[in-house]
């Protein structure tokens, strides 16, 4: 008697809900059990998944696959081959494993599937069928959106589902959304609106830019990144169509808010492209523990030749309770002197060379890891330069990379002491830093500032009078 495992699968939770014998999962199970009873097979276990056949990481499928090598079953029974997989590579790997351990299979609705050639054809057909199905679904959704229906899941805050799945204004939340638009039109400040309504600035931006509030519906496209299990919304590819629902926000108010947004973005862009004057801005930490940034001040003087305006730069603490302002000229000179006179450079030049083969492989791997981490830093800087990540994301990524660099460099130092290998000049941090400080040009200040962010973790102010500093390197 054949000892059988049954495998059944559906793609969506709705297909697995317990609606008696009408659910798709139950229909598959009934057909498989009836088939086994008719053939006089002994069913040892039923494996079932609620997951797309394009996903390899299915819990029950993986358990079934692992059981093949244990030879618990002599036959695997399923309704059709697409239940096993929608990907050719996954399906062929599964059936090759069955053949290796001489386990047979029965596809109830496809009894002619017995050889690998036929299997490969049907797996390819299944893969193509799922692509076509996806295209059909997407096309149907876009047509419904063009007709004015909201088709993408839960509606935005301020709306709710009404009759026939139409969206209608939520009587409790719609006035709240309208008030957000009115407040922004009054204050011209997204952060202030966020504070008043206890939301983040990005939340307010998402509301202000959402055309659903003036009667439009979005058609969103979703993309799947490499190594990602689920697809994500691509905000660049949103199409808007005139909807059938009632607007919450008057068109004039929405357009006024958008004009404010456009104006503010231009101001922020011009500020972002402006060349920073102070080299150490955002690297300096005040005594209170908060960062200090550059501030430009202008003072006018009356002279014999008329009125003269002079520009002064200073470092200002961002802490509202502190607001310490300090001369940039004095601060920059003190930092430069501290770097150029640092004795830490000597610690990087203590080693002589000697061959110790037992440890060289590990040492070379660590050196390679260092190069990879440095390359990752350059990649992150490029992303920042191209505007793909903001300054906060840049800082977070640098923290992670620099933490790994610190650990790797400590290990390199240990091996250098064992092997007595001289430290190459290209990894002498302070030597690099001294060269940069002595030779950088004002025209290159933006690039120099980015390099300093990689080399210097923080410049901490110990006291202002007299000025005492400490520098922490990565």
Res. 410: pLDDT tops 60? yes
What is the rounded distance in angstroms from the CA atom of residue 232 to the CA atom of residue 222? Answer: 5
| Residue for token pair 């500020």 | 271
Structure tokens at 94: 């599964």
The residues with which 306 forms a beta bridge, in sequence order, are 303
Res. 420: pLDDT tops 80? no
Q: Are 315 and 296 in contact (CB under 8 A)?
A: no
Specify the fold of 3-132. Rossmann fold (3.40.50)
The residues with which 295 forms a beta bridge, in sequence order, are 314
What are 344-390's pLDDT values in tens digits?
A: 544 444 433 334 455 666 767 777 778 788 878 877 777 777 677 77
Strands (DSSP E) found in 25-171: 42-50, 75-78, 104-107, 159-161, 167-169
Domain locations along the chain:
3-132, 159-271, 327-473
**pLDDT, mean of residues 419-437:** 55
What are 15-58's pLDDT values in tens digits?
A: 555 554 456 888 899 999 999 999 999 999 999 998 887 788 89
104 to 35, 48, 115, 411: CA distances (angstroms):
15, 19, 11, 54
Closest CA to 82 of 64, 59, 109: 109
Q: Are 222 and 234 in contact (CB under 8 A)?
A: yes
Res. 429: pLDDT tops 70? no
User: Three-class SS of residue 309?
Assistant: strand
Structure tokens at 380: 């992150």
What is the rounded distance in angstroms from the CA atom of residue 131 to the CA atom of residue 394? Answer: 38
What are 199-222's pLDDT values in tens digits?
A: 888 889 999 999 999 999 988 765
CATH of domain 159-271: 3.90.1750.20
**pLDDT, mean of residues 225-235:** 51
Half-sphere exposure at residue 349, Cβ-oriented, CA atoms within 13 angstroms: 9
Q: Are 41 and 73 in contact (CB under 8 A)?
A: no
Q: Are 204 and 190 in contact (CB under 8 A)?
A: yes
User: Considering only 62-71, 134-143, 259-268, which range has the smallest mean pLDDT?
Assistant: 259-268
Which pTM was predicted? 0.39
Mean pLDDT of the chain: 78
What is the rounded distance in angstroms from the CA atom of residue 82 to the CA atom of residue 229? Answer: 19
Q: CA 90 from chain center: how many Å?
A: 28
What are 232-270's pLDDT values in tens digits?
A: 555 556 888 898 899 999 999 999 999 888 876 654 544
* Residue 346: predicted pLDDT: 46
Structure tokens at 169: 């204004």
Q: Are 87 and 18 in contact (CB under 8 A)?
A: no
User: Considering only 64-73, 154-163, 448-457, which range has the smallest mean pLDDT?
Assistant: 448-457
Res. 147: pLDDT tops 50? yes
Res. 424: pLDDT tops 50? no
CA angle 307, 310, 315 (to 5 degrees): 150
């Amino acid at each position: 008697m054949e000892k059988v495992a049954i495998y059944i699968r559906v793609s969506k939770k709705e297909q697995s809900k317990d609606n008696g014998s009408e659910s798709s999962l139950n229909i598959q199970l009934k057909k498989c059990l009836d088939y086994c009873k008719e053939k006089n097979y002994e069913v040892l276990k039923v494996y079932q998944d609620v997951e797309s056949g394009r996903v390899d990481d299915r819990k029950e499928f993986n358990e079934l696959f692992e059981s093949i090598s244990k030879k618990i079953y002599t036959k695997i029974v399923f309704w059709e081959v697409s239940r096993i997989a929608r990907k050719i590579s996954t399906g062929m790997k599964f059936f090759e494993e069955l053949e290796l351990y001489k386990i047979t299979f029965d596809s109830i609705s496809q009894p002619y599937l017995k050889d690998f050639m036929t299997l490969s054809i049907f797996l390819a057909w299944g893969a193509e069928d799922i692509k076509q199905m996806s295209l059909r679904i997407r096309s149907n959704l876009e047509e419904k959106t063009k007709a004015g229906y909201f088709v993408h899941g839960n509606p935005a805050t301020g709306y709710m589902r009404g009759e026939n799945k139409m969206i209608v204004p939520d009587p409790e939340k719609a006035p709240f959304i309208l008030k957000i638009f009115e407040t922004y039109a009054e204050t011209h400040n997204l952060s202030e609106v966020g504070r008043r309504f206890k939301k983040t600035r990005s939340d307010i931006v998402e509301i202000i830019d959402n055309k659903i509030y003036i009667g439009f519906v979005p058609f969103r496209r979703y993309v799947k990144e490499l190594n990602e299990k689920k697809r994500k919304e691509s905000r660049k590819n949103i199409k808007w169509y005139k909807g059938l629902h009632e607007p919450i926000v008057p068109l004039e108010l929405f357009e006024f808010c958008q004009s404010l947004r456009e104006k503010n973005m231009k101001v922020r862009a011009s500020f972002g492209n402006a060349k920073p004057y102070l080299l150490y801005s955002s690297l300096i930490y005040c005594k209170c523990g908060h960062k200090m940034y550059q501030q430009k001040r202008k003072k006018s003087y009356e002279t014999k030749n008329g009125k003269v305006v002079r520009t002064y730069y200073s470092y200002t603490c961002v802490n509202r309770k502190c607001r310490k302002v300090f001369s940039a000229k004095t601060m920059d000179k003190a930092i430069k002197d501290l770097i150029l006179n640092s004795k830490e450079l000597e610690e990087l030049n203590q080693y002589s060379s000697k061959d110790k083969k037992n440890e060289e492989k590990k040492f070379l791997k660590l050196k390679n890891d260092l190069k990879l981490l440095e390359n990752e830093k350059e990649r992150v800087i490029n992303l920042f330069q191209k505007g793909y990540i903001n300054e906060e994301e840049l800082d977070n990524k640098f923290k992670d990379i620099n933490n790994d660099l610190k650990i790797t460099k400590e290990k390199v130092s240990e091996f250098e002491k064992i092997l007595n290998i001289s430290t190459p000049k290209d990894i002498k941090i302070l030597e690099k830093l001294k060269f940069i400080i002595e030779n950088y040009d004002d025209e290159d200040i933006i690039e120099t500032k980015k390099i300093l962010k990689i080399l210097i973790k923080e410049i901490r102010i110990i006291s202002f009078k007299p000025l005492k500093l400490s520098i922490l390197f990565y």
